[in-house]
Amino acid sequence: MALLNILHYPNPLLRKKCNKVTEITKDIIGLADNMCETLAYHKGLGLAGNQAGHLKRIIVIKLPEEEEFRVLINPEIIQSFGIREVEEGCLSVPGYTGIVNRSIWIRAKGLDMKWKKWKIKVEGLLAQALEHEIDHLNGIMYFDHLVAHRRRTSRRIETTARAVRASRS
Ligand code: NI
């Protein structure tokens, strides 16, 4: 296994649509392993193929309270419901977070590493992570969903602004 170089915005691969995986090859298995290792190293929630320089529809997700990595092939969202505002960041945009609109729940489907079909209905952090990573596969970045009044702000800037306000009051 090896650590992969995570591409940072504005690398053009982050705006590309990834191609469907057509079979589980040795290369795909190696890529999945390396993506998991890279995600763990950076303590991230998820990673998509193009973030690691591979235009393949493969994502890995690891929720903080879970031990296992989810390796998902050709994932797609088939239904979504509701809107909620959540804070979000991305390993390709280090140092920044923003408030974005995400769904309350989603239905998604895809394949696993054994080429077995899966279909799930999920909410909360897993739904958010799936929406974020599947967006990556379609060349969409989380800041494309920023709610208008928070556009181009970062936690760092907001924290500074709060400190300035506090020191004034
Ligand atoms: Ni991301």
Please tell me the predicted confidence (pLDDT) of residue 115. Answer: 98
Please tell me the predicted confidence (pLDDT) of residue 91. Answer: 97
Which letter, b or e, does each residue of 63-101 get, where b requires 16 or more Cβ atoms within 10 Å of its Cβ? eeeeeebbbbbbbebeebeeeeebebbbbbbeebbbbbe
* C-alpha 108 to ligand 1 mean position (Å): 18
Per the CB < 8 A criterion, the answer to whether 103 and 127 are in contact is yes
* C-alpha 157 to ligand 1 mean position (Å): 20
Please tell me the predicted confidence (pLDDT) of residue 169. Answer: 44
Residue type for 117, please? K
Whole-number mean pLDDT of the chain?
A: 91
* C-alpha 138 to ligand 1 mean position (Å): 12
**pLDDT tens digit string along 84-132?**
999 999 999 998 999 999 999 999 999 999 999 999 999 999 999 999 9
pTM: 0.88
Active centre residues (catalytic): 133
